[in-house]
C-alpha cells in the first residue's frame, strides 16, 4: 500500500500511482483535474510515452473508496450492454482510503445541457442514452451489489433526508413546506424503479461534434461517474436536464426517451425530476455538515436561500384536471325532421333486406339510403339510440322472411339452369333415350 497524504497528492504523485497501477505505463506529463463540489477524489490526466491518455482517481475518504469499488464492479458488467463507452479501470493501486483506479481517457468533452439544441439531433440522442441505462436488466445492478429501492422506500429515504436537513437550521421554511407537500403527495411517487446512473450532470456525459460551430452535430460517446448508480427513481437522471436545458430541448429529450424505453414512463417524471434537482442541495448540505467544513456549510446554505426566492409556488403540484366536453354525433332523421327511435346502425344493416322488399324498382332502397344519409347534428341519447328491448313489428319480420325465401327460390332455379346449360349434348341425348316414356 502506498502512503498518501492529502498534501502530497500532486499531479506528479498521481502519475506515479498510475505507473504503479498499470504495467507499461510510463508517465511523460500530468495535469490535475478539479475535484468538484463533493471533493471525494483527487484526479489527474496522465500522458504516457506512447502518447496514450489516462485518467486516475484517488479516494480521499474510506466512503469514497467504497463508492469507487462499487462503480468499478458495475461498469465491468455494463461495458458490453450499453451503446456508449463507460470507464472500465485498467489497474488499481492500494492507498490508505481504499484503492486508486486508472482508466483509459474516454473520447469527447462534457455536454453543456444549457446549450442543448431541440429537435431530433443531440437532444434526442441524450434521451436515448438515458433510456439505454434505464432499460438495463435490474439483475445486472443486483449482481454488482449496488443499492436498490422501490418507490415507497425511495420516498421514505427522501423524507428522512429532509428531516435531517431541517434539524441543521439551514433550510428556509418556504422550501421545507414545499418539499414536505411534494413528498406527502403519494400519487407523485407511483413509479416503476429502474437502473439509474444516479444524477446525470453535464460533466458526466461526453460528446463529440462533427462541427465545432454546430451543436446539433454532436453525438454522445461516453458516460462517466457511476458512483451513485442504483435501482431507484428514473427521474433522478433528468434532474440536471429539466433545470438547465431549454423547454424545447427538454421536450425533445423526454420524447426520445419515452420512445426508447421498454416500459412506459410515468406521467409525473418531469415533476419528480425538478424535485430531485432541488433535493440534491440537501445531500450537499448534509455532506458538508458531516465533514464539519463551515465554509462549505455556509455556501450551501446561501444556495438554498437563493433557491427559495426563485422557485415557482405551484410547479411541483399536479396540473388541474382537463374538462372534457362530450362531442355531438350525427343521427338519422326522418322526413318530418324527428329523430327515429331505432339506431343508424340498424337502418344501415337492414338496407339490403329493404331493397329486396321493394322489388326490381328499388324505390324502397333509394328512400332508405336517403333517410340514412340525410343527417343532421343532434345530441345522442343512449337510451334512444341503443334500446336492447325494442321489438320488431310482426309485419316487417314476415316481409323479411318472404323476401329471403324468394331470393333462395330464385337462386335454386338459377343454379339448375346453369347445370343444364353446362351438361354435354351426348349425355342429354342418352338421358332422353333412357328416360321411360
C-alpha cell at 2: 502506498
- What order of strands is seen across the sheet that includes strand 218-223? 109-110, 205-209, 218-223
**Cell numbers 502530497: residue:** 8
Whole-number Å distance between alpha carbons of 8 and 57: 14
pLDDT tens-digit map of 121-140? 899 999 999 999 999 999 99
C-alpha neighbours within 13 Å on the C-beta side of residue 293: 13
**Residue 334 φ then ψ, to 5°:** -80, -175
187-190 long-range CB contacts below 8 Å, 24 or more apart?
Answer: 187/268, 187/318, 188/268, 188/271, 188/272, 188/318, 189/151, 189/152, 189/154, 189/155, 189/272, 190/151, 190/266, 190/268
Secondary structure of the chain in the HEC alphabet? CCCCCHHHCCHHHHHHHHHHHCCCCCEEEEEEECCCCCCCEEEEEEEECCCCEEEEEEECCHHHHHHHHHHHHHHHHHCCCCCCECCCCCEEEEECCEEEEEEECCCCEECCHHHCCCCCCHHHHHHHHHHHHHCCCHHHHHHHCCCECCHHHHHHHHHHHHHHHHHHCCCCHHHHHHHHHHHHCHHHHCCCCEEECCCCCHHHEEEEECCCCCHHHEEEEEECCCCCCEEECHHHHHHHHHHHCCHHHHHHHHHHHHHHCCCCCCCCHHHHHHHHHHHHHHHHHHHHHHHCCHHHHHHHHHHHHHHHHHCCCCCCCCCCCCCCCCCCEEEECCCCCCCCCCCHHHHHHCHHHHHHHHCCCCHHHHHHHHHHHCEEEECCCHHHHCCCCCCCCHHHHHHHHHHHHHHHHHHHHHHHHHHHHHCCHHHHHHHHHHCCC
List, for residues 365-406, the tens digit of each pLDDT value: 444 434 444 444 444 444 444 444 456 677 776 777 787 778
Task: Check whether 234 has a pLDDT greater than 70.
Answer: yes
Q: Which residues, in sequence order, are bridge partners of residue 44? A: 32, 56
| Cell 316481409 sits on residue | 399
pLDDT band at 348 (very low <50, low <70, confident <90, very high): very low
Checking if the pLDDT of 228 tops 80, the result is yes
User: Distance between CA 29 and CA 12 in Å, rounded?
Assistant: 8
Q: In this predicted model, what pLDDT tens digit does every residue of 321-341 receive, in sequence order?
A: 555 566 666 666 655 555 554
**Predicted confidence band at 346 (pLDDT cuts at 50, 70, 90)?**
very low
pLDDT per residue over 149-184, tens digit each?
999 999 999 999 999 999 989 999 999 999 999 999
pLDDT at 437: 43
- Split at pLDDT 50, 70, 90, the class of 6 is low
pLDDT for residue 372: 42
The whole-angstrom separation of Cα 168 and Cα 171 is: 8
Better pLDDT: 112 or 419: 112
Residue 75 banded pLDDT, cuts 50, 70, 90: very high
Whats the size of the chain, residue-wise? 437
Sequence-distant (≥ 6) Cβ neighbours of residue 331 within 8 angstroms:
339, 340, 344, 375, 378, 380, 385
Q: How many angstroms separate the CA atoms of 229 and 197, rounded?
A: 5
Average pLDDT over residues 289-297: 86
Is 80 exceeded by the pLDDT of residue 361? Answer: no
Q: What is the pLDDT of residue 387?
A: 44
| Per-chain mean pLDDT for the chain | 80
Range among 210-219, 279-288, 353-362, 418-427 rated most confident? 279-288
User: For residue 416, is pLDDT > 90?
Assistant: no
Going along the chain from its start, the domains and CATH numbers come out as 1-106 (3.30.200.20), 329-414 (no CATH)
The set of residues, in sequence order, having a beta carbon less than 8 Å from that of 322 and lying 6+ positions away, is none
Cell of 104: 483509459
Q: Which residues contact 90 (CB under 8 A, 6 or more apart)?
A: 21, 22, 54, 102, 103, 104
For position 353, what pLDDT does the model report?
Answer: 47
Contact at 8 Å (CB) between 207 and 218?
Answer: yes
Q: Give the tens place of pLDDT for each residue, 24-58.
A: 999 999 998 887 666 788 999 999 999 999 999 99
Q: What is the pLDDT of residue 212?
A: 72
What does the block give as the cell for 342? 331505432
Work out the number of other CB atoms within 10 angstroms of the CB of residue 249.
24
Residue 8, all three cell numbers? 502530497
Closest CA to 89 of 63, 107, 71: 71
Amino acid at each position: 500500500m502506498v502512503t498518501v497524504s492529502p498534501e502530497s497528492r500532486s499531479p506528479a504523485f498521481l502519475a506515479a500511482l498510475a505507473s504503479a497501477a498499470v504495467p507499461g505505463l510510463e508517465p511523460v506529463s500530468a495535469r490535475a483535474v478539479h475535484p468538484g463540489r463533493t471533493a471525494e477524489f483527487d484526479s489527474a490526466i496522465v500522458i504516457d510515452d506512447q502518447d496514450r491518455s489516462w485518467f486516475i482517481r484517488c479516494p480521499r475518504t474510506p466512503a469514497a473508496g467504497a463508492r469507487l469499488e462499487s462503480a468499478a464492479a458495475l461498469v465491468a458488467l455494463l461495458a458490453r450492454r450499453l451503446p456508449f463507452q463507460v470507464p472500465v479501470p485498467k489497474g488499481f493501486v492500494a492507498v490508505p482510503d481504499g484503492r486508486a483506479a486508472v482508466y483509459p481517457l474516454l473520447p469527447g468533452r462534457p455536454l453543456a445541457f444549457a446549450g442543448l439544441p431541440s429537435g431530433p439531433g443531440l437532444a434526442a440522442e441524450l434521451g436515448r442514452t438515458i433510456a439505454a441505462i434505464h432499460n438495463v436488466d435490474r439483475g445486472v445492478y443486483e449482481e454488482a451489489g449496488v443499492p436498490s429501492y422501490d418507490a415507497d422506500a425511495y420516498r421514505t429515504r427522501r423524507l428522512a433526508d429532509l428531516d435531517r436537513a431541517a434539524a441543521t437550521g439551514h433550510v428556509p421554511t418556504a422550501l421545507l413546506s414545499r418539499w414536505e407537500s411534494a413528498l406527502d403527495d403519494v400519487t407523485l411517487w407511483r413509479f416503476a424503479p429502474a437502473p439509474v446512473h444516479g444524477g446525470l450532470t453535464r460533466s458526466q456525459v461526453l460528446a463529440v461534434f462533427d462541427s465545432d460551430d454546430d451543436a446539433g452535430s454532436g453525438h454522445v460517446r461516453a458516460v462517466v461517474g457511476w458512483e451513485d448508480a442504483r435501482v431507484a427513481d428514473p427521474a433522478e437522471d433528468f434532474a440536471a436536464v429539466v433545470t438547465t436545458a431549454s423547454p424545447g430541448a427538454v421536450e425533445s429529450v423526454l420524447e426520445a426517451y419515452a420512445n426508447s424505453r421498454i416500459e412506459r414512463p410515468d406521467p409525473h417524471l418531469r415533476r419528480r425530476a425538478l424535485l430531485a434537482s432541488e433535493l440534491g442541495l440537501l445531500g450537499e448540505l448534509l455532506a458538508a455538515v458531516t465533514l464539519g467544513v463551515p465554509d462549505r456549510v455556509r455556501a450551501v446554505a446561501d444556495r438554498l436561500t437563493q433557491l427559495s426566492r426563485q422557485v415557482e409556488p405551484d410547479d411541483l403540484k399536479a396540473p388541474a384536471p382537463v374538462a372534457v366536453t362530450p362531442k355531438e354525433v350525427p343521427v338519422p332523421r326522418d322526413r318530418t325532421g324527428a329523430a327515429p327511435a331505432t339506431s343508424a346502425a340498424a337502418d344501415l344493416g337492414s338496407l339490403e333486406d329493404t331493397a329486396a322488399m321493394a322489388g326490381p324498382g328499388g324505390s324502397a332502397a333509394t328512400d332508405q339510403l336517403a333517410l340514412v344519409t340525410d343527417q343532421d347534428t343532434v345530441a345522442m341519447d343512449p337510451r334512444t339510440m341503443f334500446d336492447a328491448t325494442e321489438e320488431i313489428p310482426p309485419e316487417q319480420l314476415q316481409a323479411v322472411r318472404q323476401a329471403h325465401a324468394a331470393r333462395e327460390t330464385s337462386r335454386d332455379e338459377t343454379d339448375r339452369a346453369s347445370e343444364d346449360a353446362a351438361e354435354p349434348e351426348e349425355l342429354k341425348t342418352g338421358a332422353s333415350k333412357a328416360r321411360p316414356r
